[in-house]
Structure 1
């Protein structure tokens, strides 16, 4: 349990450190528990609006602002039964005090067969997106993430698309702004074409 707590704390520090837009806007983001809606058996995103978020490792629920919405730059919908993530933008607007400052979204360990790129583009501060362990089976299903300008960290491992030849290079070509793929930093050598000797 202590190891899990350390991981959560490190993840929050990384999220806050990477949120330069919030700093530029003069926002004071405090270390807030993420809004954790994981392991709730959700079959559609809209069901999440009716659920109480899980408490963090200290037993603290997410703090709320004046409007009663959560003060958090992070939303976890992992380990549910979601086949579709449509409605995630509306969920952020409903649950979060400042949805425009959402920097971290975890949709891992679901049953997603597609990614709602149009909705994710509306989350202008989104920097980290976890999509690992879903059912995404083609690069075309994630290539639209190229339009998410702020996206820097993406996870896709555990999806059928990872079995395609040159998976990593294909993703880096399709989504060139990312600097971390599947929890591994993108190396400069991966950005340049590799020529085989004849």
Structure 2
């Protein structure tokens, strides 16, 4: 080989290496921007703690209202509401303890006055109604149907405290009979 050919081949290798290096710059920049960052939460669950509580409590209310269906006469409506609450207590506790390690604090309490308002607004009334009386027992709305107690809804106040602030929400979760 002559020295001119070797020189040109060396220049060609340098030019090719430069082109590859220039092509890699945007790829490296994109990689660094999309890479893991310890202070960035990865899922919507961590960005929306109120939604997390809502999902857990909604499923729990569905299960709890099914569990008392047909088990209590209307005269035992307070016992029926207590049964709903006993079924819901572990779920409420689970929500309240679920995110303490990440700095999210939940307070979950039943709202009896909102439950009473819901019962007045959503239970049928008048001479031609299908079902019997409807009332709130604490945060649980119950109705008399064919002499039995049916749980229609449960009303919760949820307070979520994070490093960004506090959010207060009232949820009305309809049970199986409250649809």
Shorter-chain TM band: under 0.3
Q: Give the TM-score of the pair, scaled to structure 1.
A: 0.22
Q: Which structure would you say has the larger Rg?
A: 2
Would you tell me which structure has more strand in proportion to its own residues? 2
Higher relative contact order (CA 8 A, sep 6+): 2
Q: Give the TM-score of the pair, scaled to structure 2.
A: 0.24
Would you tell me which structure has more helix in proportion to its own residues? 2
